[in-house]
Structure 1
Amino acid sequence: MTMKWIQNISLSLFLIGALLVSTSSFGSALQVDSTDTASGNSVTVISVEGAIGPTTTNYIRRGLETSIERNAEALIIEMDTPGGLLTSTQDIVQLMLASEMPIAVYVTPSGGNAGSAGTFITLAGHIAAMAPTTTIGAASPVSMGGGQQDTVMQKKIFNYSESFIENIAKERDRNAEWARSAVRDGEAITETEALELNVIDFISRDLDELLVQMDGMEVEGEPLQTAQASIERLEESFAEKFFSFIMRPEIMLILTMVAIYGIVGEVTNPGAIVPGVAGVIALILLLYGSASMPINVAGFVLIGLAIVLFVIEAFTPTFGILITGGAVSFFLGALMLFQEFPAEMQLSWYWLVPATILTVIFFGWIATSGIKIQFTEHRTGLESLIGKKAKVVDTIDQNGGRIMISGEYWNAVTESDEKIKSNQWCEIVRFEGLTVTVKPHKPNKEIDHGVN
């Protein structure tokens, strides 16, 4: 029963993750662009939503490459983001500044936001536009770096971010002073203010209006012809959606738990297969995500310490002290694991507390039972009789004799030259075929358990 619990928990968590991926990605992954041939009077449109991360960089890079292959007039990035990773933002900005393909960043839909990292990306576009009732700004490095920084390090990050965004604004002939204030003071403005301050070029109600507004603008020495351009959307690929999904902090926490539960479940129940396979797959995905995201190594160390404490508790009667210590270590490790993420990507307590409770239950009940089973004596079969005492029927020596075990007569031999007379008690040493090797029984003060 215990092992079935392990299998069900591991399999259920893994299948839930797979189901969420498939339901969120399958529909868009099967969409195929209506035109595969190059068209000189078309624009490629990609949509960036949510936090900026490594998969966003890959998506924008693929959008640029596809636009070049299609000989498109421009690449339009529809964007609505609260921010994201500074390293990914740097990579995206470098791509955009080095691109000869005209890039327009369009903050949409109404109510959308180009916050933090989104501010850098918007300013880096050849053309910047915003839909009505959208905002831009709040590009403070505190919200981009995550975690607590000492005064010197924080000052360095501020200085770098101010210089970085100022250079972007100057490169695109935008308001560099406001760009610095967005970092220094965390200032955010509406689309109307952004247009007045020369932060953006247009306020566009929809994509069609933006195409008309862009028409005739000279970018990279060539005038754009977008008024009658066809729109070719480039959706995120299945791989991009999948890896973006697993890089979310809550999913990485689930993968951590599945890896722990699955591997421990397989170790405590060799041959179960399902927990082991689920655990290894989750571990590989977790390692991939850890290599791409700013994971705090100290968090993994604390989670590892928690597992050690949970396992020791299975063999040491500490009355829950080690379980409590392991729970605290796991909670702090999971909390520390994602502290380098931006504020909008950090893990909430609504995930941390249930994950800690579930892990304590797993190790305190299910895993502990499985671990103990691996190190306890056999309870069934002939092996369970080893060490028990039995009644001698016929005198036993190295040549032979008989004993009675559970109402059956067995041939027996002694392991030494000492004889054991009939009606005496002997102790079972081992079974070899139909012959039992025994030794004289030496009573002690504890209650003896015999086999008659």
Structure 2
Amino acid sequence: MDTPRRPTPPMRNRLRALGWMLLAGLGAWLGVLAASLAQAPGGARTAVVLTIDGAIGPASADYVKRGLARAQERGAAAVVLQIDTPGGLDTSMREIIRAILASPLPVLGHVAPSGARAASAGTYILYASHVAAMAPGTNLGAATPVQIGGGSPLPGAPSDERPASPAPAASGGSAPAGGDGVTRSPRRGASAMDAKVTNDAVAYIRSLAELHGRNADWAEAAVRDAASLAAEDALKRGVIDLIAASVADLLDQAHGREVRLGEARLTLDTKGLAIERLDPDWRSRLLGAITNPNLALILMLVGIYGLIFEFMNPGALVPGTIGAISLLLGLYALSALPVNYVGVALLLLGIALMVAEAFTPSVGVLGIGGVVAFVFGAMLLFDADAPGFGVSLPLVGGIALASLGMTLLIVRLALKSRRSRVVTGAEGMVGTEGRVLDWDGRAGHVLAAGERWAADGPEGLHPGQAVTVTAVHGLQLSVQPAREAWPVPHHP
């Protein structure tokens, strides 16, 4: 009977290595499993802090939405939204509020640090948070919707035409607008569109207030009257839930509070949570940079001029490449911002006219018209008066002055070239010197501009004599001896 053959030493080494690899893989898998279980909902002891600092725009909305999703993936117990903003775009504000209301994690809004504010859109976001808190020395309010495109103030905006008068106190519950020192100054004769925008904003913020049991009357006053409150007054009037000096203080005070999370009620367990700050990543920072209206305008200009220079010098590649990238980034920024298409049309018309000035002898008419169209287009480009989303007047003025200077330079060069001697075509031959090749009577042949020409002229010319061209008749030249050359004609 044959005995089984024992593995050879090389085979034993391979089996041993394979065994160690399997053990290492199993250990790694167990480590990942343990980490995921440690971060699973219910066992997490972390609070993720997101920060809104500055004007609220597309970058802010993207950062908050992705931050809430990442907090959920990490198994955080709560999210603290630290707010310091003068306001922003309505569309971005509503995206953030929808993300907060749809979040499976409780969101604690915190106006901080001291000296911060939650004005305009920030007030809506604070009202949407499951817990609303402010640090000492902060304020909120002034949530009146800004009319798109400027114009007269919206209904309820403060007016200098007559003194403000307090509104009558409402009965029951929290202090209403007017009854606690908030003054009103309604405007008469508001347009239907103004009233529609204001009433929509009032209904929206009242629904957020009622959702979390906060002062809905003051919320309406913040919209209609641009009312504002400091932290202490906001707490007294039921606008916020807590005053907390820091995130840790907020988490300690919020512990044990019951909040409404979707259709359910949740008792917060936030005491002793570790604080993890989630800063904006490169994508959010890039989006925030390119959605700056001033940078978006510059990117559009660089893109258009880069492509124009590439078309003027085919094969240069550098201006075309830079122009294409800049134009795409600029177009992406415009797609994310509230754009007025009349402003875009005027901007493109202005650029086209300024470029046409370089190719058309309009003596500055097209260039100056292009500068005017460009300035008006830049001023009307972004259809919003939200803070942080307007085009800088010094930037527009600088670009307009540079374009005007280029136009004047083109006009100067055009006038200079018009007074200069013609150097191309048939007229460019006039004044050119040549040599007589052969001559018989009043006709012969001359060498001029490197070519042999039939010519006519005075008698007595001899081969090798220097002559000057005085006129061109088709393919025949009129010449005179060089010392008797006629004056060189100029353009009229």
TM interval, short-chain normalised: 0.7 to 0.9
Q: How does 1:37-436 map to 2 (within 5 A)?
A: 38=39, 40-142=44-146, 145=148, 147-148=150-151, 151-219=191-259, 220=261, 221-315=265-359, 318-365=362-409, 388=429, 393=437, 404-405=447-448
How far off its partner does 1:42 sit?
0.6
How far did 1:263 drift?
2.7
Q: Deviations over 1:105-141 (max 9, x none)?
A: 1111111110111011000000111111111010001
1:152 Cα deviation from its structure 2 partner: 2.1
In structure 2, the residue corresponding to 1:45 is in which secondary structure? strand
**Residues 142, 305 of structure 1: alpha-carbon distance in 2 compared, 3 angstrom cutoff:** same
Q: Could you tell me how far 1:171 is from its partner in structure 2?
A: 0.9
Q: For 2:319, what is the secondary structure of its paired residue?
A: helix
* Partners of 1:447 and 1:51 in 2: CA distance: 67
Deviation per residue, 1:365-424 (Å, 9 max, x gap): 379979x99xxx997xxx9899637656269xxxxx986346x6x5789xxxxxxxx999
- Secondary structure class of the residue paired with 2:52: strand
Give the letter aligned to residue 342 of structure 1: A
Structure 1 residue identity aligned to 2:130: H
Whole-Å separation in 2 of the counterparts to 1:187 and 1:442: 90
Contact in 2 for aligned 1:81/1:113 (Cα 8 Å): yes
Are the aligned partners of 1:252 and 1:286 in contact in 2 as well (CA < 8 Å)? yes
Q: 1:234 to 1:325 in 2, by over 3 A?
A: same
> What secondary structure sits across from 1:358 in the alignment?
helix
User: 1:146, 1:343 within 8 Å by CA — same for their partners in 2?
Assistant: no
SS in 2 for 1:404: strand
> How far apart, CA to CA, are the structure 2 residues paired with 1:232 and 1:92?
20
Structure 1 residues 384 and 277: CA distance shift in structure 2, 3 A: farther
Read off the aligned partner of 2:240 and give its amino acid letter.
I
* DSSP 3-state at the match of 2:50: strand
Shift in alpha-carbon separation, 1:226–1:59, aligned structure 2, 3 A: same
Q: Return closer, same or farther for 1:313/1:411 CA change in 2, 3 Å cut-off.
A: closer
Instruction: Go from structure 1 to structure 2 and tell me whether the alpha carbon gap of 1:359 and 1:186 turns closer, same or farther (over 3 Å shift).
Output: same
Q: Which residue of 2 aligns with 1:440?
A: 476
Partner Cα separation in structure 2 for residue 169 and residue 197 of structure 1? 13
SS of equivalent to 2:288:
helix
TM-score by length of structure 2 reads: 0.69
What runs of 5+ residues in structure 2 fail to find an aligned partner?
A: 1-34, 153-189, 455-462, 480-485
Read off the aligned partner of 2:151 and give its amino acid letter: Q
- 1:243 offset after TM fit, Å? 1.1
In 2, Cα distance between equivalents of 1:272 and 1:361: 25
Looking at structure 1, the residues matched to 412 and 382 of structure 2 have their Cα atoms a distance apart, in angstroms, of 28
Contact in 1 for aligned 2:235/2:243 (Cα 8 Å): yes
Native 8 Å contact 2:252 2:270 kept in 1 = yes
CA separation in 1, counterparts of 2:384 and 2:267? 43
Secondary structure of the structure 2 residue equivalent to 1:441: strand
Whole-Å separation in 1 of the counterparts to 2:301 and 2:363 = 25
**Does the Cα contact within 8 Å between 1:313 and 1:320 map onto a contact in 2?**
yes
For the Cα contact (< 8 Å) 2:343–2:377, is it kept in 1?
yes
Structure number with higher relative contact order (C-alpha < 8 Å, ≥ 6 residues apart): 1
1: distance between equivalents of 2:348 and 2:388? 27
Q: What CA deviation, in whole Å up to 9, does each residue of 1:202-241 have, x standing for no partner? A: 1111111111111122333332222211111111110110
Could you tell me how far apart the structure 2 residues matched to 1:364 and 1:87 are?
43
CA–CA separation in structure 2 for the residues paired with 1:129 and 1:426: 92
Matching residue of 1:12: none
Q: Are the equivalent residues in 2 in contact too, given 1:311–1:368 (CA < 8 A)?
A: no
Distance 2:202 2:426 in 1: 77
Which sections of structure 1, spanning at least 5 residues, go unmatched?
A: 1-34, 396-400, 414-421, 430-437
Alpha-carbon separation, structure 1, partners of 2:309 and 2:372: 22
Q: Number of residue pairs matched?
A: 386
Give the secondary structure class of the aligned counterpart of 1:141: coil
CA shift, 1:441, in A, is 3.4
Secondary structure, counterpart of 1:105 in structure 2? strand
CA-CA distance at 1:90 after TM superposition: 1.3
Measure the CA separation in 2 of the matches of 1:439 and 1:190: 92
Task: Return the TM-score normalized by structure 1.
Answer: 0.75
Please give the alpha-carbon distance, in whole angstroms, between the structure 2 residues aligned to 1:98 and 1:287. 31
CA contact 2:119–2:140 (8 Å) conserved in 1: yes
- Alpha-carbon contact 1:174-1:198 (below 8 Å) kept: yes
> Aligned-pair distance for 1:344?
4.0
Partners of 1:137 and 1:163 in 2: how far apart?
16
Q: CA deviation at 1:146?
A: 5.3
